[in-house]
């Protein structure tokens, strides 16, 4: 029993916070996830790297703390996402638009949105592209109210409820051997996992927000063919079953980006864009 409590505390701490890792922005491009337009806009488009115009509080915990904003541990931050966030978003938007078929073709460009000059447009035109999609990321984050204390208490309670009887069933030889009792450790770990999972099924505040300010520029004339601001912002009380809080925060943010690009596709489809002759 002396070894059960320290082991239990380690397992609870690890699971209630969630293991730290990097996540790659990507999602399934099947019909269940993306909007496919009824018709294709006859434009060959290059997608520039969007400018990151987010508040620093959305990008890192230190800035959020400096601005005296709460819930420091409940938001996604850039360190959670693999690579540069603006580049990753630009990559995924391109992949999504190409898969949806809204344009004749959509290809990523290495050019920054801030560097889409007349000269750059001329060079892009020579490559056979009709337009460049540029713009900025104004918001991108997920919020998941972790409830670490509730998660730890429920995880510990179930862990003890399962672990104690298992340790109590040891034989005298096992008790005095001085060796770790693996069945007890396993039962405790499974119990903690079950408790943390049970807590995740309880409702809590969840928020997701993506804002993209985009414009489509003709490579032939330099004129803005289309411009719009796509904003997806949702707050709700819901449950997200799982034992990794970091992953759930990331999934919330990623879903908002997916919905934003779907809305972008709808708005483009409603537009009257035609290819420059």
pLDDT band at 181 (very low <50, low <70, confident <90, very high): low
Going 139 to 144 to 146 to 150, the CA torsion angle's sign is positive
pLDDT tens digits along 69-80:
888 889 999 999
Q: Mean pLDDT over all residues of the chain?
A: 87
Check pLDDT > 90 for residue 276. Answer: no
CATH code of the domain occupying 34-147+202-270: 3.40.50.10610
Check pLDDT > 80 for residue 17. Answer: no
pLDDT band at 170 (very low <50, low <70, confident <90, very high): low
Check pLDDT > 70 for residue 1. Answer: no
pTM: 0.82
What does the pLDDT average to over 4-23?
54
> Does residue 2 come out as left (phi exceeding 0), alpha (psi in the -120 to 50 range) or beta?
alpha
Question: Cα(245)–Cα(206) distance, rounded to whole angstroms?
Answer: 12
pLDDT tens digits along 211-259:
999 999 999 999 999 999 999 999 999 888 888 888 989 999 999 999 9
Q: Which residue shows structure tokens 């082991």? A: 7
Token duo for residue 123:
């060079």
pLDDT band at 23 (very low <50, low <70, confident <90, very high): very high
């Amino acid at each position: 029993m002396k070894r059960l409590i320290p082991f239990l505390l380690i397992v609870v701490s690890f699971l209630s916070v969630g293991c730290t890792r990097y996540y790659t922005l990507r999602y399934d491009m099947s019909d269940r996830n993306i909007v496919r337009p009824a018709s294709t806009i006859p434009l060959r488009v290059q997608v520039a790297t969007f400018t990151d115009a987010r508040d620093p509080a959305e990008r890192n915990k230190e800035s959020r703390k400096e601005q005296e904003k709460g819930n420091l541990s409940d938001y996604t931050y850039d360190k959670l996402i693999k690579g540069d966030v603006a580049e990753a978003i630009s990559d995924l938007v391109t992949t999504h638009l190409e898969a949806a078929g809204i344009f004749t073709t959509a290809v990523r460009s290495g050019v920054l949105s801030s560097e889409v000059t007349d000269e750059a447009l001329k060079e892009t035109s020579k490559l056979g592209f009709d337009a460049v999609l540029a713009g900025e990321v104004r918001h991108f984050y997920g919020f998941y109210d972790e409830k670490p204390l509730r998660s730890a208490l429920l995880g510990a309670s179930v862990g003890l409820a399962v672990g104690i009887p298992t340790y109590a069933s040891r034989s005298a030889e096992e008790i005095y051997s001085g060796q770790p009792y693996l069945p007890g450790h396993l039962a405790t770990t499974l119990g903690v996992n079950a408790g943390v999972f049970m807590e995740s099924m309880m409702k809590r505040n969840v928020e997701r927000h993506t804002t993209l300010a985009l414009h489509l520029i003709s490579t032939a004339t330099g004129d803005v063919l289309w411009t719009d601001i796509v904003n997806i912002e949702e707050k709700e009380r819901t449950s997200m079953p799982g034992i990794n809080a970091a992953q759930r925060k990331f999934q919330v943010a990623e879903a908002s980006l997916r919905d934003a690009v779907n809305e972008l596709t709808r708005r483009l489809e409603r537009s009257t864009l035609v290819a420059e002759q």
